[in-house]
Structure 1
Amino acid sequence: MKANKRTVWFLTLLSLVAVISIFYLRKEAPMQLDGMAIFGDKNKEETILKETSSDGSKTTSVFADSVRFEEMRMEARNERSQMRDQLTNKISSPDITAEEKKAAYEEMDELIKRESAEALMELHIKELGYPDAFVRKDNGKVDVTVLSVDEGHSAKMADEITQYIMTSWEDAREVQVVFME
């Protein structure tokens, strides 16, 4: 009988902790699709970024460029997914030696490390003040495409990004930075 009471008390306390933690998490970061907020125009800063020229007459949407970045990311994911499938098939094949399997494991590990490093680099470039960035690394060459809302991007900005990437990746030999408007 004591075990049942302990179990009931434990489950009660556990559910109470879960409810309180969900309440505080939701209070700090409310969900984006919350109730009537879908129909209001009050919180539009996350949906579409706008660029206004100096005379105020021209307004260009940056949302379409952001979609291009997502398309580039999806292409890279599809390509790497195919590579991962090939490596998995190679590993599961009974005709391959242990050395070849080890090489395939190492290549898969390198692929995962490269993907996470690229995602981290994109986040760091966004922290520098750019709305979006796409980073792709192949054989020591790093291609960086940055979405710039300001027309005044300069060689100084490109050098800042290049320097950051060269210090972060030891095997980065060549860095190419392209600004998209």
Structure 2
Amino acid sequence: MRTNKRTVWFLTLLSLVAVISIYYVKGKEPMSFDGISIFTKETTDIAKLTEGMDDSNKKMPVFAETVLFEEMRMEVRNERSKLNDQLRTKIGSAEYTVTEKNEAVNEMDQLTKRNSAEALMEMEIKALGYQDAFVRTENGKVTITVLSTEGQSKKQANEIIHYVKSSWDDARDVQVNFTGET
């Protein structure tokens, strides 16, 4: 059977759209992270399952804080998108010199690297065991907001600071803030 590249590309794109659509449709309601509620739909079943547990074993949904983190990410993304559009306009314009256009290209590259580094650092902080993290960099200053329901301590903050400084060369000043129910 012969398939051309366009057909394969179309089917791949279609399956990706289907997966993302299902993810967003299912992701609108807050989920409890106790492992059982993923398979049950009704809240009465969840109440019955967690009825015998004490308060320390019950898991609370962190939907509101996660939405806040997503809003912060969207604000940064919109701000950087506007800057990127301005730089693209500058590159395409005949009013600027070649050196100014090269500086704009370099600035776009730095912006892309910074976005990638922030996203990678967020994933690495989540891998340390935190529920969510938001990383923002500005001229060597790194501000990290961590969602933690287990409280906060100087030891945890120092662990994150050490991790960021050891894995990120541009991080000169690192500040860690904790948020979430304690």
Give the TM-score taking structure 1 as reference length: 0.71
SS of the residue 1:56 aligns to? coil
Give a deviation string over 1:79-114, Cα, whole Å, max 9, x none.
000100110111111010000000000000000000
Partner of 2:115, secondary structure, is: helix
Worse-matched range after superposition: 59-68 or 111-120: 59-68
Distance, in Å, in 2 between the alignment partners of 1:136 and 1:93 is 30
Return the alpha-carbon distance in structure 2 between the equivalents of residues 106 and 97 of structure 1: 14
Amino acid at match of 1:171: D
Work out which of the two has the higher radius of gyration on C-alpha atoms and give 1 or 2.
Answer: 1
1:82-101 paired onto structure 2 within 5 Å? 82-101=82-101
Matched with 1:160 is 159
1:106 is matched with which residue? Answer: 106
Cα 1:163–1:86 shift into 2, 3 Å: same
In structure 1, C-alpha distance between the alignment counterparts of 2:95 and 2:22, rounded to whole Å: 51
Answering whether residue 179 of structure 2 is matched by residue 180 of structure 1, we say: yes
Residue 42 of structure 1 and its aligned partner are, at CA, apart by: 4.7
Q: Do the aligned partners of residues 167 and 56 (structure 1) sit closer, same or farther apart at CA in structure 2, a change above 3 Å counting?
A: same
Task: Give a deviation string over 1:9-50, Cα, whole Å, max 9, x none.
Answer: 444xxx9xx8xxx9xxxxxxx99949xx99xx85169xxxxx
Tell me which amino acid in the other structure corresponds to 2:38: N
In structure 2, distance between residues paired with 1:81 and 1:136? 15
Partner of 1:140: 140
The share of aligned pairs that are identical, in percent, is 52
Q: Which residue of structure 2 lines up, in the alignment, with residue 169 of structure 1? A: 168
Matches within 5 A, 1:8-157: 9-11=1-3, 33=22, 42-43=37-38, 56=55, 60-151=60-151, 153-157=152-156
Provide the secondary structure at the position in 2 that maps to 1:61: coil
Distance 1:31 1:101, change over 3 A: closer
Q: Distance in 1 between matches of 2:37 and 2:127?
A: 25
Q: Could you give the per-residue CA deviations for residues 98-148 of structure 1, whole angstroms, max 9, x where no partner exists?
A: 000000000000000000000000000000000100000000000000000
Superposition TM-score, scaled by structure 2 size: 0.70
**Deviation string for 1:47-81 (max 9, x for gaps)?**
xxxxx9x9629975311000000000000000000
CA distance in structure 2 between the partners assigned to 1:101 and 1:126 by the alignment: 38
Aligned length: 147
Structure 1 segments of 4+ aligned residues over 4 angstroms from their partners: 30-34, 57-60
